[in-house]
């Protein structure tokens, strides 16, 4: 993704749509269906007015109900109880969103993002990552960002690398190995900035690019947080996250100041899954959060890979579970990832078997192989004895021996006996 000197100011300025979505991003949790219906029925600016105290009109209620009924698949002549349900959904939604709207000051949030060298991106912006469209109803209202600039999304391939917060020494090793190999091939590595595999992946991506400068052509890594971009959580990763905020890119759908919570981590995982062409799970326990990222990716039709490990390690339970379920492909090499995604960037793929595994009998037919294996290692053998040991007839055997001779694998001595070539 080419980093661009895109708008230091909130791209497109503080339009009504942008301010409204910024405000809504504080009040509405991801996955709130009623909010999605209201957005379609009323538009973001009017929905934001309702949250600031305006009351919905009869017509707006009706518009909302139409969207809700269409989405729920309720027939126009449907059950009264179902129609009442959709009618109530807007009121229940407002009840959820209003308490937070009291404390929502989107212009201030946008100023705060600007203060930390960022902004607020909405779907109509040219720099919106189109990869998120795949989320449909679960697309975020907007993206708070922080970094030197916004990339030209999709220009270069990206891979999400996720895993446990508590990797084994093996997990640490393979995170570094995979990330380093793939980042040096030009892949942008997406992760969640958490301790453990996430932060190792970010760091290894940076190291592989050996940049540290802002004027590199492409992003090495993108971090998607579950709290505000001004709160570099967890603080133990503060130094690295600060570096990412300065030189790479940090994203969040929650406004500045937001606290990460368990459900926000889970919701955030869908963004990590959607932003990349594929997701690689390194290590994780049976119910690791990284499995939720993998499941999101699989549901979105994205490729998912998982790295196996010892069955005696609980940290490999997650990857093994994904592979057993058929949700993930077993991956042992960076080349497996590149091949699965059809990428072959900055270098040639070698997917053949290891050189060390080639055998002298490769390429021989069965008769030739049996004769060659029946030749003693250090002495010559009489031809009839050789044919008997190999269980090969004279006619087929003599011509196979000549073929072995031409390949330099067998030698006939003057007395007619044969030895290895």
Among 16, 299, 366, 382, binds a second copy (CB under 8 A): 366
Q: Does 374 bind a second copy (CB under 8 A)?
A: yes
Regarding 79 and contact with a second copy (CB under 8 A), the answer is no
**What does the radius of gyration of the chain's CA atoms come to, in whole angstroms?**
30
Q: At what angle do helices 16-27 and 106-115 cross, to 10 degrees?
A: 90
H or E segment and range at residue 40: helix 33-42
Among 61, 176, 243, 333, which residue interacts with a second copy (rule: CB under 8 A)? 333
Cβ proximity to a second copy, 125 vs 336, nearer residue: 336
Distance (Å, rounded) from C-alpha 275 to C-alpha 293?
11
* Using rule CB under 8 A, residue 395 touches a second copy: yes
Q: Which is nearer to a second copy, 213 or 312 (CB)?
A: 312
Q: Are the beta carbons of 404 and 368 closer than 8 angstroms?
A: yes
User: 13 vs 416, which CB is nearer to a second copy?
Assistant: 416
Find the binding residues for a second copy in span 39-58 (CB under 8 A): none
Residue of 61, 96, 407, 420 that binds a second copy (CB under 8 A): 96
- Pairing mode of beta strands 278-281, 158-162: parallel
Helix, strand or coil, per DSSP, at residue 190: strand
Using the contact rule CB under 8 A, the part of the chain among 111-119, 156-164, 243-251, 366-374 near a second copy is 366-374
The residue among 28 and 188 lying less far from a second copy, judged by its C-beta, is: 28
Q: Report how far residue 44's alpha carbon sits from residue 102's, in angstroms, rounded to the nearest whole number.
A: 17
List binders of a second copy among 299-318 (CB under 8 A). Answer: 307-312, 316-317
Alpha-carbon separation of residue 25 from 43, 77, 100, 137, 237 (angstroms): 14, 35, 10, 15, 25
Q: Is 379 a residue that touches a second copy (CB under 8 A)? A: no
| CA 196 – CA 201 distance, rounded (Å) | 9
Examine residue 29 and tell whether it contacts a second copy (CB under 8 A): yes
CA separation for the pair 72, 84 (Å, rounded): 13
Does residue 262 interact with a second copy by CB under 8 A?
yes
Binding a second copy (rule: CB under 8 A), the pick from 93, 196, 227, 260 is 93
Nearer Cβ to a second copy, position 212 or 388?
Answer: 388
Regarding 365 and contact with a second copy (CB under 8 A), the answer is no
**Helix (H) or strand (E) run with residue 223 in it:** strand 221-224
Residue 272 CB, shortest distance to a second copy, in Å, is 20
Query: Given candidates 4, 388, 399, 402, which one binds a second copy under the rule CB under 8 A?
Result: 388
Angstrom distance (rounded) from CA 396 to CA 400: 6
391 interacts with a second copy by CB under 8 A: yes
Give the tokens for residue 122. Answer: 């909405």
Please identify which residue in 49, 71, 82, 396 interacts with a second copy, judged by CB under 8 A: 396
C-alpha pair distances (Å), 161 with each of 16, 81, 96, 176, 339: 36, 46, 34, 11, 16
406 binds a second copy (CB under 8 A): no
Is residue 287 a contact point for a second copy (CB under 8 A)? Answer: yes
* Sheet of 221-224, strands arranged across: 118-121, 143-146, 249-252, 221-224, 188-191, 158-162, 278-281, 303-306, 329-330
By CB under 8 A, name the one of 195, 329, 411, 417 that touches a second copy: 329
Number of residues that bind a second copy (CB under 8 A): 55
Does position 95 bind a second copy by CB under 8 A? yes
Q: Does 359 bind a second copy (CB under 8 A)?
A: yes
CA distances from 123 to 107, 130, 196, 272 (A): 18, 8, 32, 17
Q: CA-to-CA distance for 199 and 204, rounded, in angstroms? A: 8
Site for a second copy in 165-184 (CB under 8 A): 170, 173-174
CA-to-CA distance for 374 and 36, rounded, in angstroms? 75
Q: Report if residue 360 touches a second copy, rule: CB under 8 A.
A: no
Task: Report the nearest approach of a second copy to the CB of residue 311 (Å).
Answer: 4
Q: Name the 3-class secondary structure at 260.
A: coil
Query: Which residue ranges make up the site for a second copy (CB under 8 A)?
Result: 27-29, 32, 92-96, 99-100, 170, 173-174, 261-263, 285-287, 307-312, 316-317, 320, 323-324, 329-330, 332-333, 336, 353-354, 357, 359, 366, 369-370, 373-374, 384, 387-389, 391-396
């Amino acid at each position: 993704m080419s980093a661009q000197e895109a708008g230091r100011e909130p791209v497109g300025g503080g339009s009504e749509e942008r301010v409204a979505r910024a405000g809504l991003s504080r009040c509405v949790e991801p996955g709130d269906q009623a909010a999605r219906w209201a957005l379609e029925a009323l538009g973001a600016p009017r929905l934001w007015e309702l949250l600031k105290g305006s009351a919905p009109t009869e017509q707006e209620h009706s518009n909302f109900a139409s969207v809700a009924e269409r989405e729920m698949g309720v027939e126009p002549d449907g059950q009264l109880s179902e129609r009442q349900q959709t009618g109530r959904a807007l009121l229940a939604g407002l009840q959820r969103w209003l308490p937070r709207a009291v404390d929502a000051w989107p212009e201030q949030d946008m100023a705060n993002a600007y203060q930390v060298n960022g902004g607020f991106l909405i779907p109509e912006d040219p720099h919106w990552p189109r990869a998120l469209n795949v989320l449909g109803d679960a697309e975020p209202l907007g993206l708070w960002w922080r970094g030197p600039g916004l990339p030209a999304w999709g220009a270069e391939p990206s891979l999400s690398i996720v895993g446990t917060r508590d990797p084994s020494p093996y997990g640490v090793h393979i995170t570094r190995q995979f990330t380093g190999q793939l980042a040096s091939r030009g892949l942008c590595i997406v992760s969640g900035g958490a301790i453990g595999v996430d932060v190792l992946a970010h760091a290894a991506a940076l190291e592989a690019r050996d940049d540290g400068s802002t004027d590199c052509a492409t992003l090495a890594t993108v971090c998607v947080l579950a709290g505000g971009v001004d709160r570099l959580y967890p603080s133990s990763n503060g130094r690295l996250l600060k570096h990412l905020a300065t030189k790479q890119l940090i994203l969040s759908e929650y406004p500045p100041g937001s606290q990460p919570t368990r459900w926000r981590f889970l919701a955030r995982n869908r963004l990590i899954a959607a932003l990349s062409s594929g997701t690689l799970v390194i290590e994780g326990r049976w119910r690791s959060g990284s499995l939720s990222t993998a499941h999101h990716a699989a549901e979105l039709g994205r490729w998912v890979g998982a790295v196996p490990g010892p069955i005696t390690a609980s940290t490999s339970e997650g990857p093994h579970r994904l592979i057993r379920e058929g949700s993930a492909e077993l991956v042992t090499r960076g080349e497996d990832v590149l091949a699965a995604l059809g990428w072959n960037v900055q270098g040639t793929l070698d997917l053949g078997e290891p050189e060390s595994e080639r055998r002298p009998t490769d390429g021989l037919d069965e008769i030739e192989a049996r004769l060659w294996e029946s030749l003693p290692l250090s002495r010559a053998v009489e031809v009839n004895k050789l044919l008997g040991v190999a269980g090969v007839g004279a006619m087929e055997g003599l011509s196979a021996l000549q073929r072995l001779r031409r390949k330099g694998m067998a030698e006939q001595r003057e007395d007619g006996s044969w030895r290895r070539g």
